[in-house]
Structure 1
Amino acid sequence: MSFSGRYSLEGCVASVLFIVLFAVLMIQIFGRTPLFTGPVWTEEAARWIWVWMALVGIAEVERTNGQLRMGFVADTLPVRWRRTLFLVIDAVYLGIVAHLVWISYKTVLRTWNNEAVSLPATDAVLYASGLVATVLILHRIARRVLSFVRSDTPEEAR
């Protein structure tokens, strides 16, 4: 599947998860009315879908480099120093996220045999959201660092 500049895998997956979350919540809401008895799995499914949607959404924010930032210090620096500062920050961020990938992987392994309360899956499916999101974030940071390193022209940093 190929995505062009405006759309990404992360954004599309997060959007689909939002739609599925909305549908599950509607089943849960109408299941509390006299219309019908709602299934018991909707509460747990809504939490799991929310976690997956939020973490994949964070990966989309990283793709678009849309994090909140306070640039009043960086904006006072010359372009070359600003680029260096952002490169150092991204390198540290890369290391932290790589460590989070490892922690997420160990968590998935640790929860592999834990049964979910009402869903036919193990808790590892829930915790795999952290692993998937951190791998996607790691990928986006690495691409940004490589593009910084490869660029010869000192264009405006971020």
Structure 2
Amino acid sequence: MAVSGQPPGPAAESILAGSAAGRGAGSAAADAAGGPNTARPPGRLSRWADRVEFWMNALLALMLFVLVACLCWQVYGRYVLNDAPGWTEEVARFLMVWVTMLGSAVVLRRNGHIEVTALVMALPRPLRLALFWLRDAVVLACAGVLVWYGYGLAEIGGQRLTPALEIRMYWPFLAIPISGALMAFFLCVRRIEQDPDEAPRLELI
């Protein structure tokens, strides 16, 4: 590399000019796309939802660990010790209910549920937008049904005891109304604090 005090030649000047033009075009494209610093900051509700999701993920991980441990201990006791404990199957069954219901709320938070949008996205924009809000209304209605009837089912189940653990069935059934409330909470937070341009996109929930 030359370090003389002479000015750069025509070739070097053209290379520098091309680099400067490339940087200018890249900056213009970034500005047109909104830039890295133009993203909408999360609001208070979104921060609360993030905290709830964080602790739910930790709780789900713990439940899965206990569930797998119970199943492994049941298999070991049945085929090695010839004395399978009765409580392991019951704990695994109830944990499966909690993991399924709470996990569905977390998946809703991250838009992970299976959806087919090919036909919907082919509709005109006004119809897509109407269908978008109709879908949210159906999801909220289903969440309300889970909360209302799920809690009633939990109260009825509270009158019975489980065979092995001898705990009230209120606690396994309580996963239904809690998951419904979390689904409604996550959906409302996303709709309240979403960007205006996000609403017509039916694939986002």
TM class by smaller structure: 0.7 to 0.9
1:142-157 correspondence runs (5 A):
142-147=188-193, 151-153=195-197, 157=201
Which residue pairs with 1:114 in the alignment? 160
Instruction: Provide the C-alpha distance between the structure 1 equivalents of 2:126 and 2:58, rounded to a whole number of angstroms.
Output: 35
The offset of 1:108, in angstroms, is 0.9
Asked if the contact 1:63–1:140 (Cα under 8 Å) also holds between the matched residues in 2, the reply is yes
**Kept in 1: contact 2:49–2:186 (CA 8 A):** no
Q: Counterparts in 2 of 1:120-131, with a 5 A limit?
A: 120-131=166-177
- The C-alpha deviation readout for 1:120-146, integer Å capped at 9, x for no partner, is 311111101112111111111222332
Match of 1:34 in 2: 80
Preserved contact between residue 44 and residue 119 of structure 1 (Cα < 8 Å) = yes
Report Cα offsets for 1:14-40 as digits up to 9, x if no partner. 222111101101110110133463321
Q: Secondary structure at the match of 2:166?
A: coil
8 Å contact from structure 1 (residues 79, 154) kept in 2: no
TM-score, with normalisation over the residues of structure 1?
0.84
Structure 1 residue 53: deviation in Å? 1.0
Report if aligned partners of 1:13, 1:56 keep a CA contact under 8 Å in 2.
no
Gaps of at least 5 residues in structure 1 are none
Q: Does 1:49 align with 2:95?
A: yes
Partner of 1:86: 132
* 1:103 and 2:173 aligned: no
Q: What is the percentage of aligned positions where both structures have the same residue?
A: 25
1:115 to 1:18, Cα distance in 2 relative to 1, 3 A: same
Q: Indicate the residue corresponding to 1:59 in structure 2.
A: 105
Is the Cα–Cα contact under 8 Å of residues 49 and 189 in structure 2 kept in the other structure? no
Work out the CA distance in 2 between the residues paired with 1:154 and 1:43.
45
1:13-32 matched pairs, under 5 angstroms: 13-32=59-78
Q: For structure 2, which runs of at least 5 residues remain unmatched after alignment?
A: 1-47
- Rounded Cα–Cα distance in structure 1 between residues aligned with 2:86 and 2:71: 12
Q: How many residue pairs were aligned?
A: 154
Which residue identity is paired with 1:143? V
| Alignment-mate amino acid for residue 59 of structure 1 | A
Describe the superposition over 1:51-91 as per-residue Cα deviations: whole angstroms up to 9, x where unpaired: 11111111111111111111012212355543332122101
